[in-house]
């Protein structure tokens, strides 16, 4: 059986990741444009933990047919033959399936407070940790363990790609602030980062700042690519890795910023790549 790692770059839009041109991440396979089932962190992570990863937006196909095929991919991911939708019944919850039916150790390390261990999402995990910093994937990688006797599943929620797209060594007082957005940035912990940009409050939202923010997300992904290299170095062979995002992010398109209470194509647009290194 394979170890399986599901890496979620929080808020990382597909085109952001492509612009960062991440050479290490690309070693896993072709980076696809996919679509998240939800526009913000909590429901999206719940959905991922049901086993449904971001979808391909297929046309002329019944949802049930798509789900059925999507679940078959877990045979590759886990190196276990015969996994199908029925295997997940009745809980429809991936960590519980791994733990109870396949004997996996299950671990989550999350960066965003909205996913903290008191939430329902901790269900089915042997360990579930909210990291001290919201933006330090390297600290996550350094804590990972792969015991030899049992396969393990790791859910990694990574926050460098989340607003304010700060690298771990960047002092908080240097993080960007933009005005004219509902004041949501004062409450990073609330995770409700998004909404219509208020033209009135800021005369007109500052396109230069939005571009700067978008560039910061690209920079964050470039940095994360180097941390992924460290992850690749420590994983045992027989490790299957999926890298994707929980939702996208808006940088002024349609008059929106961020994610959450937004209905826009870009808030669902996420990268998806997976494979086995060796
Ligand atoms: Zn998120």
Section 17-30 average pLDDT: 98
Eight-class DSSP state of 113: G
Lowest mean pLDDT among 59-68, 96-105, 169-178: 169-178
How many angstroms separate the alpha carbon of residue 225 from the centre of ligand 1? Answer: 19
pLDDT tier for residue 82 given thresholds of 50, 70 and 90: very high
pLDDT tier for residue 189 given thresholds of 50, 70 and 90: very low
Section 18-22 average pLDDT: 98
Residue 81 burial (C-beta neighbours within 10 Å; 0-12, 13-18, 19+): exposed
How many angstroms separate the alpha carbon of residue 33 from the centre of ligand 1? Answer: 17
34 has pLDDT over 50: yes
pLDDT tier for residue 190 given thresholds of 50, 70 and 90: very low
CA–CA dist 13, 39 (Å, integer): 12
Please identify every residue whose CB atom is under 5 Å from ligand 1, which is an ion.
10, 41, 246
How many angstroms separate the alpha carbon of residue 80 from the centre of ligand 1? Answer: 30
Q: Which residues contact 102 (CB under 8 A, 6 or more apart)?
A: 1, 78, 80, 151
47 has pLDDT over 80: yes
- pLDDT mean across residues, the chain: 91
What residues form DSSP beta bridges with 32?
272
CA–CA dist 243, 182 (Å, integer): 31
How many angstroms separate the alpha carbon of residue 230 from the centre of ligand 1? Answer: 23
- Tell me the pLDDT tens digit for each residue of 115-146: 999 999 999 999 999 999 999 999 999 999 99
Q: Are 57 and 33 contacting, i.e. CB atoms less than 8 angstroms apart?
A: no
Angle formed at CA 25 by CA 150 and CA 135, multiple of 5 degrees: 80
**Could you check whether the bond before residue 164 is cis, i.e. omega within 30 degrees of 0?**
yes
How many angstroms separate the alpha carbon of residue 13 from the centre of ligand 1? Answer: 11
CA–CA dist 115, 260 (Å, integer): 15
């Amino acid at each position: 059986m394979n170890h399986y790692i599901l890496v979620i770059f929080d808020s990382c839009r597909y085109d952001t990741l492509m612009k960062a041109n991440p050479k290490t991440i690309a070693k896993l396979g072709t980076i696809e444009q996919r679509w998240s089932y939800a526009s913000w962190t909590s429901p999206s992570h719940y959905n991922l933990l049901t086993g449904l990863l971001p979808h391909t937006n297929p046309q002329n196909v019944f949802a049930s047919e798509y789900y059925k095929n999507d679940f078959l991919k877990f045979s590759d991911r886990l190196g276990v033959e015969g996994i199908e939708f029925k295997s997940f019944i009745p809980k429809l919850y991936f960590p519980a399936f791994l733990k109870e039916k396949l004997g996996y150790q299950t671990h989550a390390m999350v960066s965003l407070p909205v996913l903290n261990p008191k939430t329902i999402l901790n269900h089915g995990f042997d360990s579930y940790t909210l990291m001290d910093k919201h933006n330090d994937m390297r600290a996550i990688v350094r804590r990972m363990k792969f015991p030899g006797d049992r396969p393990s599943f790791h859910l990694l929620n990574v926050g460098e790609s989340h607003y304010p797209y700060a690298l771990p060594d960047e002092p908080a007082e240097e993080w960007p602030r933009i005005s004219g957005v509902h004041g949501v940035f004062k409450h990073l912990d609330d995770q409700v980062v998004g909404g219509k940009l208020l033209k009135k409050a800021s005369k007109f939202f500052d396109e230069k700042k939005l571009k700067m923010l978008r560039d910061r997300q690209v920079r964050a992904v470039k940095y994360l690519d180097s941390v992924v290299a460290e992850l690749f170095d420590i994983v045992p062979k027989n490790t299957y890795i999926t890298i994707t995002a929980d939702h996208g992010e808006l940088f002024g398109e349609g008059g929106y910023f961020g994610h959450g209470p937004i209905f826009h194509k870009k808030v669902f647009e996420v990268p998806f790549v997976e494979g086995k290194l060796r």
